Structure 1
Amino acid sequence: MPKYVLFGTYCDNVLEKREPYRKAHLEGIKKQKEAGIVITIGPTQDLTKVFGIYDAETEEIVRQLIEADPYWKNGIWIEYEVKEWIQVF
């Protein structure tokens, strides 16, 4: 199955703004991880970017998951791009 990389940007003041949505966001990611769709996801140390790797049949599936996430729906992630990734090792 293809793998996809998520590169995204967090809003300003992310620590405060994400709080109301954090629990729902983490529960959704946990379900995706358990289903084998999310390999890894998380913020950069400076909390400006999000990086993730997905194992999904299509890019559209990944985009649907991202856009259904409470962080995207509530402006915590303010932009993103998805690229198909070629895993060499």
Structure 2
Amino acid sequence: MPKYIVWGSYCEDVLEKRVPYRQAHLDGLAKQKEAGVLITIGPTKDVTKVFGIYEAEDEATVRNLIESDPYWVNGIWTEYEVKEWIQAF
């Protein structure tokens, strides 16, 4: 199954703005991880960017997961890019 990387940006004042959506966001990611579609995801140390790796049928599946996440729906993630990734090692 293809792998995809996700690279995106957080809004300003993310640490404060994410609070109401954080648990729903984490619960959703846990379900994705259990289902095997999410390999890993997390912020950069300065909490300005998010990076993730997904294993999914197609790019549309990954985009659907991102765009249904509470962080996207509520403007915590402000933009993102998805690229199919070839794992060499």
Q: CA deviation at 1:41?
A: 0.1
Which residue in the other structure is 2:46 paired with? 46
Which TM-score applies when normalising by structure 1?
1.00
Gaps of at least 5 residues in structure 1 are: none
Distance in 1 (alpha carbons) for counterparts of 2:6 and 2:20: 23
Percent of aligned positions that are identical: 73
Aligned-residue CA RMSD in angstroms?
Answer: 0.2
Which TM-score applies when normalising by structure 2?
1.00
Distance in 1 (alpha carbons) for counterparts of 2:69 and 2:49: 16
Q: CA deviation at 1:21?
A: 0.1
Counterpart residue type for residue 50 of structure 1: V
Output aligned runs, 1:1-40, within 5 Å: 1-40=1-40
How many residues in Structure 1 have an aligned counterpart in Structure 2?
89
Which residue in the other structure is 1:57 paired with? 57
Name segments (4+ residues, structure 1) moved above 4 Å: none
Q: CA deviation at 1:2?
A: 0.1
SS of 1:57's partner is coil
SS of 1:88's partner is coil
